[in-house]
C-alpha cells in the first residue's frame, strides 16, 4: 500500500486569497528558555489546503463539524485539465465516476504555490461543470488552485448548495495521473465553522 500526501505544510506567511489577511504561525515558547516548545496560529479558514463547508456560501448551510465522518472517505478520480483556462462540463465526458467519489482537478498550479505566478491567470471551473458533478453524485471536489471561481461565486454556490464539499490548494496531484484506482482520505479539523484546514491523502492499493 502506498500513501501520497496531497497537502501543503502550514507555514508562516503562506499564500492567502487576495484580500484576505496573512496567516501567522510563530513560536511563543522554546525549550531553552521555557523548557517546552509552543506555537501560536492565527489564520482565516481559507488559507493553505482547506475544505469549504456549505456555510461558506449558503445561508444556514452546514458547518464543518456537522458532516458525518463517512463524507471524508471515498474512491478518487483525477482529471488532467492542464492548459484549460475554463474547466467546463465536457471534460467529464467519458470519465467513469461512481457515486460517492472524490474528484480532483489537476491544473498544474500546485507547483507554483509559493510563487507570485500562483495568483496569475488561474483557471476557473464553470457552473455547468459543477452541475454535472452534482448529478454524478460526487461528494468532494478538490483542486490545486485558490478556488473554482470568482465573485459572485456561482460555482461555489452550486457545489456547496448541493452538498458537494470543496478542497482548495492541493499539491502532488501529478503523482496520481498514471494510477487507475486509488482511495482518498480527506479529514478536516472538526471546527464549528464554514471551513477548516484539511489533511488529504491518496491511498494506492
Q: pLDDT (tens digit, 9 = 90+) per residue, 158-205?
A: 999 999 999 999 999 999 999 999 999 999 999 999 999 999 999 999
Helix, strand and coil content of the chain, in percent to the nearest 5, comes to: 25, 30, 45
Asked whether the beta carbons of 128 and 92 are under 8 A apart, the reply is: no
Is the pLDDT assigned to residue 15 strictly greater than 90? no
What does DSSP say about strands 102-106 and 140-143: parallel, antiparallel, or unpaired?
parallel
Condensed to tens digits (0 to 9), the pLDDT of residues 18-74 reads: 888 889 999 999 999 999 999 999 999 999 999 999 999 999 999 999 999 999 999
Return the C-alpha torsion angle 150, 155, 158, 163, nearest 10: -100
Q: Which three cell numbers stand for residue 204?
A: 494506492
What pLDDT, on the 0 to 100 scale, is given for residue 17?
Answer: 82
Q: How far apart are CA 131 and CA 88, in angstroms?
A: 10
| Over residues 143-165, mean pLDDT | 97
**Rounded to an integer, what distance in angstroms lies between the CA atom of residue 106 and that of residue 173?**
6
Q: Which pTM value belongs to this model?
A: 0.96
Strand 24-29 to strand 38-42: parallel, antiparallel, or no bridges (unpaired)? Answer: antiparallel
Task: Write down the pLDDT at residue 154.
Answer: 98
Cell of 165: 464539499
3-state secondary structure of 29: strand
Domain 2-7+45-204: assigned CATH number:
3.50.30.50
Q: How far is CA 131 from CA 8, 19, 25, 83, 102, in A?
A: 28, 28, 37, 22, 15
Cα separation, 102 vs 71, whole angstroms: 10
Poorest-pLDDT segment among 91-105, 107-121, 164-178: 107-121
The pLDDT assigned to 96 comes to: 95
Strand, coil or helix: 111: helix
Which pLDDT value is given to residue 194?
Answer: 98
| Residue 74: predicted pLDDT | 98
Determine the 3-state secondary structure of 3 from DSSP. strand
Confidence band for 16, pLDDT divided at 50, 70 and 90: confident
Spell out the domain ranges in the chain: 2-7+45-204
Pick from 50, 68, 70, 66: nearest CA to 58: 66
Cα–Cα distance measured from residue 195 to residue 110, given in angstroms and rounded to the nearest whole number? 20
pLDDT at 14 over 90: no
Amino acid at each position: 500500500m502506498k500513501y501520497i500526501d496531497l497537502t501543503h505544510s502550514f507555514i508562516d506567511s503562506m499564500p492567502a486569497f487576495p484580500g484576505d489577511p496573512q496567516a501567522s504561525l510563530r513560536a511563543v515558547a522554546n525549550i531553552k528558555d521555557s523548557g517546552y516548545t509552543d506555537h501560536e496560529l492565527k489564520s482565516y479558514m481559507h488559507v493553505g489546503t482547506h475544505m469549504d463547508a456549505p456555510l461558506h456560501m449558503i445561508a444556514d448551510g452546514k458547518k464543518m463539524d456537522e458532516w458525518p465522518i463517512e463524507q471524508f472517505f471515498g474512491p478518487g478520480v483525477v482529471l488532467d485539465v492542464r492548459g484549460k483556462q475554463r474547466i467546463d462540463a465536457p471534460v467529464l465526458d467519458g470519465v467513469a465516476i461512481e457515486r460517492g467519489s472524490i474528484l480532483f482537478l489537476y491544473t498544474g498550479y500546485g507547483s507554483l504555490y509559493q510563487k507570485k505566478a500562483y495568483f496569475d491567470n488561474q483557471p476557473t471551473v464553470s457552473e455547468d461543470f459543477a452541475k454535472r458533478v452534482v448529478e454524478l453524485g460526487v461528494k468532494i471536489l478538490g483542486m490545486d488552485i485558490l478556488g473554482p471561481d470568482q465573485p459572485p461565486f456561482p460555482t461555489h454556490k452550486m457545489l456547496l448548495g448541493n452538498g458537494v464539499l470543496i478542497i482548495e490548494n492541493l499539491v502532488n496531484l501529478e503523482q496520481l495521473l498514471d494510477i487507475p484506482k486509488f482511495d482518498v482520505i480527506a479529514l478536516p479539523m472538526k471546527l464549528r465553522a464554514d471551513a477548516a484546514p484539511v489533511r488529504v491523502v491518496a491511498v494506492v492499493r
